[in-house]
Structure 1
């Protein structure tokens, strides 16, 4: 175990010994029925050594003679040629093709030894060469992270072997690998499960000779029937077919999994009865029975039995919440203080009841026993946060992201902790919205006073943590909202603009104008309008040539203008109508000298404000007085900017606004502010003359 690189070298040496030629490359093709354009698809070109009819690679007779269909390279006919092969199930999907349809007749690079092969009609391979390709396929998995790209890289190896079935065991292994690769895709998970079921069902049949099944026994890691049944049961459980999974688990005497099945079906009484039987010796799991037959020392056997009993007590504690503390403590004592499972359960028990000191104590013991479980570190970090131990929380969430760097929630919480740490770990008060850290990412709300007391280095660490976490939690609007605040605080206004756009995209349909942080938006506009409007004036030793060649700061002035403009025009305005948003937009247009557009934005802001939405019959005097101020303000804007906009009838607009507002609010004629409106109306009438 652990010698994957050395194994890869031996696989290559095996291919050379059999004179197998193979090359992983790309060829134009289609993977869906409705695909219009050909795109490059990954394909494995492979060819066995040309040999005399009936001879094997090692010189012995080949019992698997090629059928006429296999000699022509027709995969579908080849699969039908022998009845001794496992059934290869069709996908039967309304979108995906059964196999990649290559439109290029040659995929190999010029000068390659395999340039003569057609990707869609390759010759059949010798079974031993198929074993080598499957070994290379498994080596890709062993030396690569668990990721969708890894599965894509493994698929061509499996497809190349499945295309020409030559041996019962080899073809079974290839179908099993394909079923595993397809288990995590929505369109293929059904075929994956049914194929695995078919492989299990054909194991005991007499459709192939024993010599055929055992011939390549040492060349492929084909699991036993019981292991495949266990895998099938877990596949059933993953897609919600709990009863079928439980039947298999019961047949295999995997009682712990049976208990989980009863638990998922909300029949805890059945699960409790099984656990009691296991504790009292009336039942035993198959693995336990097998392990007891192995030759081990008496001390080792006692340790294994104690750990097994402790696990059962923990399971009983999960099933009986009212006696959970008693059962978890019993598990810890039974294991002689060595069960990480018991300590994790106790830590979770105390955490759920807000007993954070005891939760921290238990979880510290748990992570000391097994430090590679990120969930334990995460709950421990949340307990430290509740106890306001920021240094401990920082250590815990750092361990979380070290174990799993794609844990966006831990990155977010780590950033939150940095903003709560002062110099040398001193506490910094930062307002929190009170949401549970263990359930979802915390939403930061940083006030100006508290923000000033946070060291800038901590703010930068929080900014980088959030930036990393957002790579893996792109749809989490709370993290984007946090990112807006921190980016503004560290001066990364371009990033704040991008983050605000993501928040609006995610929340606008549900929350409307509330999704826009208007304070942040106005600060972004301020950062642009502080610079001279003329780009030439914004550069020292001005001039057109200097302005064209100057490197612009993306976080202020003209360097930020393009992103702010895109934020307004493409993201916010098509989704949100708000008085402050329109005013911020109007200020930006005024700075650019786009007078008519600025006036229209100010008018839109007025229509969204109190004065524009006030209806006839309202009686709130204070609201009416505020609306009078808005009317006076919009008239002043029209007077100042109206003459600068060509063909803009600002006087008509001003008179219409005042007249309409006075007509809707005549119930307030006795108020002192009514005289101001009448005076304003008279002034506009005189200006029109």
Structure 2
């Protein structure tokens, strides 16, 4: 058991040979392990212990019959020896990766190896591609040696003893496929099988242009914490820690590959804690051109590793091209770290909130040098130390997460991304950076540089070089090959499962897009033709308004591939005809076809009536296949709300917040569904989550709902908080319209229930907040509301500040007496008379009370004179319009009483 655990943990880690520990009794598995870790994957299949097993079962492989079932039978036979079968699956998976992701090309071709000479290569290849296709998603038919991946997946399914195969069966519900189980510490082989199967499934998904089916759910469920515990139990502390690191990196990467980037951050936080990685984004002065005399503002990531592995390996890195610019420096020269001029409010926040680096965020920021840890502040910003491979990967994963969760074409985000990638590329010893990590960093730098006029030349050249260096299916080379020995397959694939998967055709596609944007049409067409991506070419034509050309290309694709559900659905999108979406669903349960049908029924063309019930049915079908699509669940929930199916809406938005608990609209809509179901407490909880994760400036309606629900539940602290937020957010556009007056009255009623304490320190938090809100915040917002001034006067009187209370009464009266409608609208006249009556009563009751200055000071010594003058002034304004009215008589009575 210990031998098995040691071997498979090191295989999972892809340790270099000089770090490998093998027990004396490992037997032939030691040889196989060395071959895999040395990148000689084809030699594993040709090993003297493996080859006879494969040869003896080749009779199962008959080219003229169903390739998928034949490979499944073949896998069943060779899986009788689980240990040997697992090595075959691992080697086959790596061979597929080598031939499609990393290069260089393997000398052992799958069809030549598995099938007899003279077999129909094209037929076998196409059947293998069809077998890897799933749920209407056609695997990329330009993939090399798909038999290797198909064989690996079938073996791993047999070894895992799955009840339902992802390769042989297509069910309507992904829930049937979820296979999560908590392994015991002695389930070593099962743990290794689950881990490799999760990896193989994610590689299969990279063959699809979009995600569909239950594959993501299955991959996530079988790779769980119990797998790490089972593999690491009893091993030395170093191996256990490395397994945990790789696991967290891989879960984060899988989240990014699955377009669930919001799930990546918790894993990134965990792996940072495991490696004790120190890093921070800060401001710095930087010179970027050769003739710059004064440094300008810039961003830099300061980073330092505290946990090293593979630190004695020298890598053969891909060529990093220089700018060769007469103007630009090769890299910025930084100075004066963390001493940028910063807005005073930000600086205050930094002093109070961010004195320690907050590693729970995606990209920790330190705005001032005094808050940068000494270990980072002491680094030379222009020659930062080497980082470990694990920490380099962390920075790349944070780059991908930041990019997928940020607006595109944002200059600040671009600067942050460039600072991350620069920290990976510009280290004191770049020869110690793994080939895959370094080449991916170069690729990401190129993507960023191709958006800038001064760096686009280097960006395009670097992209072309990286595509050609993989060495896969390149007919015409633009970059001369180097005579230096290229890096080994083992080096290139060491971290392939921890960095987001980009097969070589995706690299080609991105390069073609850049060529198109530069007007290099011929070069772009050559790439597209080499890739054979007809659907994507059609979509490009549709984007630039050439719909007829796009339709022609799609129809040609369908005639050659009648079961390509994606192509059929895209034709439906182009023509706006539902029959194609129905056909795409019938052929392969293609999720986007049902999404299109749902939206077609909700947004029908002119002349067709909206059918929400049908829209719900179609979206339910789509979600039964892919239950982790956030946007589909959100749309489904909105359909539920609009059709008054509140149970459905509650379920949908519960799914939404489970997928992304930072989405305030999902929480708010979930609260609406709960309120409609009379679940007030649940609605309050949902709204509390909504306001905690919302942009206050844009979401005043959520705060308004929060206020109403909190008031129903008598949560007065939360009611007060909501009132404050509403005023803060809406005062500029709505003024006093941002104030809910009845709610404020209720808050003041709660406030004055108890006597004002003799010592202000005895005030409760609610009392302090309510006083600050009513006496400081509200007066800055009120324009013409007499009612609000009277509410504030009540608070001031409760605080034993009669002078302030009287001043509020005066403002309440002035707010009405200056109304231009006073002489035209009797209602306004009567309200003003009422306010005048209140003010006169206030003069009478408060005027002779002690004033704020003490001694013999009074609130208003001449209160009687002021009262009379107020009445006279109002009577003069209303004489022409309102003489002999009831209000006029009331004023006369008041004057007489004085």
TM range (shorter): 0.5 to 0.7
CA contact (8 A) 1:480 1:503 kept: yes
Structure 2 counterparts to residues 229-628 of structure 1, below 5 A: 229-231=508-510, 248=524, 251-252=527-528, 253-281=532-560, 306=563, 308=564, 310-321=565-576, 324-335=577-588, 338-353=589-604, 354-422=610-678, 458-475=679-696, 476-534=699-757, 558-569=764-775, 571-577=777-783, 578-609=785-816, 611-614=817-820, 618-628=823-833
Query: Against the structure 1 CA distance between its residues 130 and 643, is the aligned structure 2 distance closer, same or farther, given a 3 Å change threshold?
Result: closer
Between the aligned partners of 1:421 and 1:63, the Cα distance in structure 2 is 64
Name the residue aligned to 2:95. none
- Once the two structures are TM-superposed, the CA of residue 586 in structure 1 deviates from its matched residue by 1.4
Query: Against the structure 1 CA distance between its residues 174 and 146, is the aligned structure 2 distance closer, same or farther, given a 3 Å change threshold?
Result: same
Query: Against the structure 1 CA distance between its residues 664 and 563, is the aligned structure 2 distance closer, same or farther, given a 3 Å change threshold?
Result: same
Between the aligned partners of 2:521 and 2:798, the Cα distance in structure 1 is 68
Give 3-state SS (helix, strand or coil) of 2:668's partner.
helix
Between the aligned partners of 2:847 and 2:863, the Cα distance in structure 1 is 5
Give 3-state SS (helix, strand or coil) of 1:665's partner.
helix
- Once the two structures are TM-superposed, the CA of residue 665 in structure 1 deviates from its matched residue by 2.2
How well do the aligned residues superpose, as a CA RMSD in angstroms? 5.2
CA contact (8 A) 1:411 1:465 kept: yes
- Once the two structures are TM-superposed, the CA of residue 466 in structure 1 deviates from its matched residue by 1.2
User: Deviations for 1:640-661, whole angstroms, at most 9, x for unmatched residues?
Assistant: 2222242424334323322222
Query: Against the structure 1 CA distance between its residues 351 and 493, is the aligned structure 2 distance closer, same or farther, given a 3 Å change threshold?
Result: same
Give 3-state SS (helix, strand or coil) of 1:31's partner.
strand
Name the residue aligned to 2:834. 629
Between the aligned partners of 1:528 and 1:584, the Cα distance in structure 2 is 11
User: Deviations for 1:29-58, whole angstroms, at most 9, x for unmatched residues?
Assistant: 743569999999641258999x9xxxx958
Give 3-state SS (helix, strand or coil) of 1:533's partner.
coil
Query: Against the structure 1 CA distance between its residues 653 and 379, is the aligned structure 2 distance closer, same or farther, given a 3 Å change threshold?
Result: same
Give unpaired runs (5+ residues) of structure 2. Answer: 1-7, 22-237, 239-274, 287-293, 339-368, 407-412, 467-476, 605-609, 852-857
User: Deviations for 1:459-506, whole angstroms, at most 9, x for unmatched residues?
Assistant: 221111111122322331111111111122222222222222222222
- Once the two structures are TM-superposed, the CA of residue 383 in structure 1 deviates from its matched residue by 2.0
Task: Work out whether 1:209 is the aligned partner of 2:469.
Answer: no
CA contact (8 A) 2:399 2:420 kept: no
Query: Against the structure 1 CA distance between its residues 581 and 123, is the aligned structure 2 distance closer, same or farther, given a 3 Å change threshold?
Result: closer
CA contact (8 A) 1:134 1:157 kept: no
Query: Against the structure 1 CA distance between its residues 157 and 622, is the aligned structure 2 distance closer, same or farther, given a 3 Å change threshold?
Result: closer
- Once the two structures are TM-superposed, the CA of residue 117 in structure 1 deviates from its matched residue by 8.6
Relative to the length of structure 1, the TM-score reads 0.66
Between the aligned partners of 1:564 and 1:485, the Cα distance in structure 2 is 17
User: Deviations for 1:275-306, whole angstroms, at most 9, x for unmatched residues?
Assistant: 3343344xxxxxx8xxxxxxxxxxxxxxxx52
- Once the two structures are TM-superposed, the CA of residue 414 in structure 1 deviates from its matched residue by 0.7
Between the aligned partners of 2:416 and 2:725, the Cα distance in structure 1 is 30
Between the aligned partners of 1:469 and 1:235, the Cα distance in structure 2 is 40
Task: Work out whether 1:43 is the aligned partner of 2:303.
Answer: yes
Query: Against the structure 1 CA distance between its residues 206 and 366, is the aligned structure 2 distance closer, same or farther, given a 3 Å change threshold?
Result: closer
**Higher RCO (C-alpha under 8 Å, 6+ residues apart):** 2
Query: Against the structure 1 CA distance between its residues 319 and 473, is the aligned structure 2 distance closer, same or farther, given a 3 Å change threshold?
Result: farther
Task: Work out whether 1:677 is the aligned partner of 2:677.
Answer: no
Query: Against the structure 1 CA distance between its residues 318 and 599, is the aligned structure 2 distance closer, same or farther, given a 3 Å change threshold?
Result: farther
Give the paired residue count: 555
Name the residue aligned to 2:268. none
Structure 2 counterparts to residues 8-23 of structure 1, below 5 A: 10=13
Between the aligned partners of 1:663 and 1:161, the Cα distance in structure 2 is 82
Structure 2 counterparts to residues 138-149 of structure 1, below 5 A: none
CA contact (8 A) 1:42 1:156 kept: no
844, 847, 863: which one aligns with 1:642: 847
Between the aligned partners of 2:891 and 2:708, the Cα distance in structure 1 is 41
CA contact (8 A) 1:85 1:165 kept: no
Give 3-state SS (helix, strand or coil) of 1:613's partner.
coil
Name the residue aligned to 2:345. none
Between the aligned partners of 2:431 and 2:480, the Cα distance in structure 1 is 12
CA contact (8 A) 1:8 1:136 kept: no
- Once the two structures are TM-superposed, the CA of residue 332 in structure 1 deviates from its matched residue by 2.9
Task: Compare 377-386 and 271-280 and name the one that shifted more.
Answer: 271-280
Between the aligned partners of 1:236 and 1:459, the Cα distance in structure 2 is 57
User: Deviations for 1:58-87, whole angstroms, at most 9, x for unmatched residues?
Assistant: 8xxx999xxxxxxxxxxxxxxxxx9x6323
CA contact (8 A) 1:587 1:598 kept: yes
User: Deviations for 1:303-328, whole angstroms, at most 9, x for unmatched residues?
Assistant: xx52x2x322322332334xx33332
Structure 2 counterparts to residues 9-88 of structure 1, below 5 A: 10=13, 24-25=277-278, 30-31=283-284, 42-45=302-305, 85-87=320-322
CA contact (8 A) 1:363 1:376 kept: yes
User: Deviations for 1:118-163, whole angstroms, at most 9, x for unmatched residues?
Assistant: 54465886xxx976764565677899997799x9899778625423
Query: Against the structure 1 CA distance between its residues 123 and 515, is the aligned structure 2 distance closer, same or farther, given a 3 Å change threshold?
Result: closer
840, 844, 868: which one aligns with 1:655: 868
- Once the two structures are TM-superposed, the CA of residue 98 in structure 1 deviates from its matched residue by 5.7
457, 460, 463: which one aligns with 1:200: 463
Between the aligned partners of 1:9 and 1:632, the Cα distance in structure 2 is 85
- Once the two structures are TM-superposed, the CA of residue 411 in structure 1 deviates from its matched residue by 0.8
CA contact (8 A) 1:533 1:592 kept: yes
Query: Against the structure 1 CA distance between its residues 184 and 625, is the aligned structure 2 distance closer, same or farther, given a 3 Å change threshold?
Result: farther
User: Deviations for 1:597-638, whole angstroms, at most 9, x for unmatched residues?
Assistant: 1111222222223x331467x333343233322322322222
CA contact (8 A) 1:183 1:189 kept: no
- Once the two structures are TM-superposed, the CA of residue 15 in structure 1 deviates from its matched residue by 9.7
CA contact (8 A) 1:583 1:605 kept: yes
Give 3-state SS (helix, strand or coil) of 2:628's partner.
coil
Query: Against the structure 1 CA distance between its residues 343 and 200, is the aligned structure 2 distance closer, same or farther, given a 3 Å change threshold?
Result: same
CA contact (8 A) 2:464 2:511 kept: no
Relative to the length of structure 2, the TM-score reads 0.52
Give 3-state SS (helix, strand or coil) of 1:43's partner.
strand
Name the residue aligned to 1:177. 441
Between the aligned partners of 1:592 and 1:226, the Cα distance in structure 2 is 74
Give 3-state SS (helix, strand or coil) of 1:643's partner.
coil
Query: Against the structure 1 CA distance between its residues 465 and 275, is the aligned structure 2 distance closer, same or farther, given a 3 Å change threshold?
Result: same
Between the aligned partners of 2:710 and 2:800, the Cα distance in structure 1 is 29
Query: Against the structure 1 CA distance between its residues 41 and 279, is the aligned structure 2 distance closer, same or farther, given a 3 Å change threshold?
Result: closer
